Every structure is written in C-alpha cells, then in structure tokens.
C-alpha cells in the first residue's frame, strides 16, 4: 500500500514546488511544478487532438534527459503559450 503525505498532495513531495495563477474573469489558469534539482521525466500523450509543447524532447532518442519544471495549462494556443512566462530562479527552465 502506498503511503500518502500529510496532505496527500503533490506539494508533499520533497524537492518540488508548485505555483498557480488564475484569472476568474478570463476563466483561465496555469500551474507550474518546479523541481529543486534536475529531474528525469516522462510523458504519455493520449487523445485525438492533444495540445503539447516540447514533449517530443522527452523521447529516449533525443538529447534532453532532465527537466527543471512542468507547466500544466489548457490546450488552446493561449494555454500552450503559458509556458513562455515560466522562469526558474536560476533562469533555467
């Protein structure tokens, strides 16, 4: 059986910081998960018309082997561009 953290949230995971911004008027928002250290990541894309950005870089034959952040947003063009505003404290995302 898996143990949950104190709040059973992703923020219980050591080494991860989570931020969120939203605008109720626009009915829009974005969530960013920042990794304190370079982290290995993987992705599985499902659905008939997924909207993704930079996920091809995580394929095993490509040269990117770690990530510094993951951005979750809506799949529209506006949602995909939300990652443009994410900046790691060291200037690396």
The model carries a pTM of 0.74
Q: What does the pLDDT profile of the chain (93 residues) look like in tens digits? A: 777 889 999 889 999 999 988 888 888 888 889 899 998 888 888 888 888 888 888 888 888 888 888 888 876 777 888 878 765 444 444
Is 80 in a helix, a strand, or coil?
helix
| Distant-in-sequence, close-in-space partners of 37: CB < 8 Å, separation ≥ 6 | 15
- Sheet containing strand 28-39, edge to edge, reads 16-23, 28-39, 67-73
Rounded CA-CA distance 73/80 in Å is 7
Q: Would you say 46 and 78 are in contact if contact means Cβ atoms under 8 Å apart? A: no
Rounded CA-CA distance 80/75 in Å is 6
| Residue 27: φ, ψ to 5° | 55, 50
Domains of the chain by residue range: 10-85
């Amino acid at each position: 059986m898996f143990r949950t953290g104190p709040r059973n949230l992703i923020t219980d995971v050591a080494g991860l910081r989570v931020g969120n911004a939203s605008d109720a008027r626009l009915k829009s928002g974005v969530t960013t998960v920042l990794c304190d250290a370079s982290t290995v990541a993987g992705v599985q894309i499902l659905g008939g018309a997924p909207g993704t950005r930079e996920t091809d870089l995580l394929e095993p034959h490509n040269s990117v082997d770690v990530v510094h952040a993951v951005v979750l947003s809506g799949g529209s063009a506006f949602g995909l561009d939300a990652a443009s505003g994410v900046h790691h404290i060291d200037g690396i995302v």
